[in-house]
């Protein structure tokens, strides 16, 4: 799909996802021609938000599947940038190796091979997760982790954290993508976002949004996810969805960018979030709503994930406080049915 008038063209995989849909919208606003992939373009209900985004600019919706070799060839053909956002998530499988880890690595390399064949892609931006950085024994208070840190897969496998397969899949997908890019002379950057909060064009509940609103909604499972993050990350690192999309576009367009980038605006705690929500939304009776184990909650973060590398490249976060991050999340939660109107 040519971007007339010299417009750049970008491919975003998994376009009807929480992050990808917001990224598609941002790219269209910036004047890009966009090609995005979904597994079933005929699913009008699931792709309704993408159809609406077509009003913003040239957006082509194509079929592709991470499990099908070569199915991304058409989507990345002629593109300047490729944003690899689609990834399998299977947290409940009794065989994570088969259902989470292997499909993630295969899918990443499948799209990377399509990018190599296209010959036009200036840069690939892979969306990973901060769990590839910080899942490791952290004994020291005030620990600061940067992009040199990798999750300890032996420790992760031994601990059998509920999402251990997801963590392993992110580490191995990153490492295989880096290896492939080096072998084929491709320019690759990897974004490692933390808990991502904010309104997306997607009218479906994303786990991170449910977690961020769990003390207002009373969703125990979502609160459990938030507590799991604090326990394993040594705090609750947060980024606004808009800032994440801005960071990904920035990393695509910034020639000097290379390697991994932690995308974290600030680190807070469940206690701090609860205090903020009680003050901000008194009508919801915000509460941690779990008497067991609350004494383990942190008063202040033990660990910080540093985005100094991203900031040093020239990126500036716009949403640096809970007030700024939560400004549209409650309304989004109402629209999704997480919170009552």
Residue 280's pLDDT is 92
Least confident of 92-101, 172-181, 246-255, 319-328: 92-101
Distance in angstroms (rounded) separating the CA atoms of residues 152 and 134: 8
What confidence category does residue 288 fall into, taking pLDDT thresholds of 50, 70 and 90? Answer: low
Distance in angstroms (rounded) separating the CA atoms of residues 230 and 210: 15
Residue 142's pLDDT is 84
Which H or E run contains 82?
strand 81-84
Provide the whole-model pTM: 0.95
Residue 270's nearest CA partner among 230, 305, 302 is 230
Residue 1's pLDDT is 38
Q: How many CB atoms lie within 10 A of CB 201?
A: 17
What confidence category does residue 236 fall into, taking pLDDT thresholds of 50, 70 and 90? Answer: very high
Q: What is the mean predicted confidence (pLDDT) over 120-143?
A: 91
**Cβ 111 vs Cβ 122: under 8 Å:** no
Residue 3's pLDDT is 38
Using a pLDDT cut of 70, give the percent of the chain over it.
95
In tens, the pLDDT along 268-279 reads 999 999 999 999
**Cβ 227 vs Cβ 111: under 8 Å:** no
- The chain-wide mean pLDDT, for the chain, equals 92
Residue 314's pLDDT is 98
Residue 165's nearest CA partner among 200, 198, 132 is 132
Q: Cα 235 vs. chain centroid, distance in angstroms?
A: 18
Residue 293's pLDDT is 52
pLDDT for 105 beyond 90: yes
pLDDT for 231 beyond 50: yes
What confidence category does residue 2 fall into, taking pLDDT thresholds of 50, 70 and 90? Answer: very low
Q: What is the dihedral of CA 189, 193, 197, 198, to 10 degrees?
A: 0
In tens, the pLDDT along 24-72 reads 999 999 999 999 999 999 999 999 999 999 999 999 999 999 999 999 9
What confidence category does residue 129 fall into, taking pLDDT thresholds of 50, 70 and 90? Answer: very high
In tens, the pLDDT along 157-183 reads 888 777 899 999 999 999 999 999 999
Residue 98's nearest CA partner among 15, 168, 149, 42 is 168
What confidence category does residue 295 fall into, taking pLDDT thresholds of 50, 70 and 90? Answer: low
Residue 57's pLDDT is 97
Q: What is the mean predicted confidence (pLDDT) over 136-143?
A: 80
Q: What is the mean predicted confidence (pLDDT) over 112-132?
A: 97
């Amino acid at each position: 799909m040519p971007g007339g008038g010299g417009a750049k063209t970008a491919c975003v995989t998994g376009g009807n996802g929480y992050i990808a849909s917001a990224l598609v919208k941002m790219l269209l606003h910036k004047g890009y021609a966009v090609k995005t992939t979904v597994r079933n373009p005929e699913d009008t209900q699931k792709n309704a938000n993408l159809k609406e985004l077509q009003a913003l600019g040239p957006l082509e919706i194509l079929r592709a599947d991470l499990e099908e070799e070569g199915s991304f060839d058409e989507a990345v053909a002629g593109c300047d940038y490729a944003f690899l956002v689609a990834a399998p998530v299977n947290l409940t499988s009794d065989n994570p190796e088969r259902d989470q880890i292997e499909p993630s690595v295969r899918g990443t390399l499948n799209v990377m091979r399509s990018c190599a064949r296209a010959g036009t892609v200036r840069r690939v931006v892979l969306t990973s997760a901060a769990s590839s950085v910080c899942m490791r024994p952290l004994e020291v208070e005030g620990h600061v982790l940067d992009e040199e840190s990798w999750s300890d897969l032996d420790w992760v496998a031994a601990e059998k954290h509920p999402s251990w397969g997801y963590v392993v899949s992110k580490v191995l997908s990153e490492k295989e993508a880096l290896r492939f890019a080096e072998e084929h002379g491709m320019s690759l950057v990897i974004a490692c976002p933390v808990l991502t909060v904010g309104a997306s064009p997607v009218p479906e509940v994303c786990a991170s949004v449910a977690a961020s609103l769990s003390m207002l909604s009373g969703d125990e499972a979502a609160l459990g996810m938030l507590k799991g993050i604090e326990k394993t990350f040594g705090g609750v690192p947060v980024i606004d969805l808009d800032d994440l999309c801005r960071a990904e576009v920035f990393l695509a367009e910034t020639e000097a960018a290379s390697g991994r980038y932690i995308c974290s605006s600030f680190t807070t705690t469940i206690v701090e979030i609860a205090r903020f929500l009680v003050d901000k939304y008194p009508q919801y009776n915000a509460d941690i709503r779990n008497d067991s184990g609350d004494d383990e909650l942190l008063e202040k973060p033990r660990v910080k994930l540093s985005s100094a590398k991203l900031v040093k490249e020239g990126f500036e976060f716009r949403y640096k406080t809970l007030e700024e991050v939560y400004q549209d999340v409650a309304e989004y939660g109402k629209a999704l049915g997480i919170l009552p109107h």
